[in-house]
């Protein structure tokens, strides 16, 4: 049962839910455009516009908190669970925006196309899997879709392991006093991907888990 459907008479919660979905969509848009920038030249003006999306996400974050607080002030315990879940989701969404800004800054330090050489295939695989996690997370939240939520939660551990294995491999294989600029960028980018995916996993868990297990793996029924 969609927990937000239970709050159809709570306009502030409805507004907060829409703003929460908008935060996720903005994070997804940042991720899509920024990661695509690694495959070609980056327009500096477009990069600055994408950085500004983090400020909009932060504004929505504050707005959702305010609406939830006002709702609880007016109604007491009514819709309390939905309010707490929304606050959890927007905190994770705000962090996704922060990592989007980190990726934008990393791109600005490395203008133009970067070739990750023998690690390119792994980069593209993690990129595609992270993109799919965004899509499934938004569907899970928008439609209260447990199947999509579970896909996100199940996808996180393999991606996390892939990132950790890649970084360990690079440290072993790229030994010496110097390391290629592209490989330094790749290590940072992979860590950012992993953190973004961790927050998506936390958001998806709100659909299938009770409040005290948000952010943890789904508990067997």
What number is the average pLDDT over the span 187-194?
Answer: 94
What number is the average pLDDT over the span 4-8?
Answer: 49
pTM of the full structure: 0.83
What number is the average pLDDT over the span 19-33?
Answer: 85
* Cα separation, 189 vs 176, whole angstroms: 21
In this prediction, residue 128 carries a pLDDT of 92
**Tokens standing for residue 158:** 């393999």
pLDDT digits (tens, 9 = 90+) for 192-204: 999 999 999 999 9
* Cα separation, 129 vs 104, whole angstroms: 20
Contact between 203 and 24 under an 8 Å Cβ cutoff? The reply is: yes
In this prediction, residue 193 carries a pLDDT of 94
In this prediction, residue 40 carries a pLDDT of 62
Contact between 87 and 79 under an 8 Å Cβ cutoff? The reply is: no
Averaged pLDDT score across all residues of the chain: 83
Report the top-level CATH class of 3-213: mainly alpha
DSSP 85-98: HHHHHHHHHHHHHH
pLDDT digits (tens, 9 = 90+) for 162-172: 999 999 999 88
In this prediction, residue 54 carries a pLDDT of 76
Could you tell me how far CA 198 lies from the centroid of its own chain?
Answer: 7
Tracing tokens 């669970």 back to the chain, one arrives at 81
Residue ranges per domain, the chain?
3-213
pLDDT digits (tens, 9 = 90+) for 79-134: 677 788 888 899 999 999 999 889 888 888 876 777 888 999 999 999 999 999 99
């Amino acid at each position: 049962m969609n927990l937000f459907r239970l709050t159809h008479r709570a306009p502030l919660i409805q507004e907060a839910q829409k703003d929460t979905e908008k935060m996720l969509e903005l994070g997804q848009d940042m991720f899509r455009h920024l990661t695509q920038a690694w495959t070609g030249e980056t327009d500096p003006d477009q990069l600055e516009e994408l950085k500004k999306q983090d400020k909009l996400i932060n504004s929505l974050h504050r707005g959702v908190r305010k609406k939830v607080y006002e709702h609880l002030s007016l109604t007491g315990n009514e819709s309390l669970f939905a309010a707490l879940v929304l606050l959890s989701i927007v905190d994770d969404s705000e962090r996704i925006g922060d990592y989007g800004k980190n990726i934008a800054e990393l791109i600005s330090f490395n203008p133009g196309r970067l070739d990750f050489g023998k690690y390119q295939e792994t980069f593209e695989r993690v990129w595609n899997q992270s993109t799919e996690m965004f899509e499934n997370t938004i569907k899970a939240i928008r439609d209260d879709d447990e199947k999509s939520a579970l896909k996100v939660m199940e996808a996180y551990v393999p991606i996390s392991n892939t990132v950790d294995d890649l970084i360990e491999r690079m440290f072993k294989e790229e030994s010496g006093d110097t390391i290629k600029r592209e490989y330094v960028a790749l290590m940072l980018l992979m860590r950012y991907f992993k953190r973004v995916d961790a927050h998506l996993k936390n958001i998806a868990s709100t659909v299938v888990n009770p409040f005290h297990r948000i952010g943890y793996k789904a508990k067997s029924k």
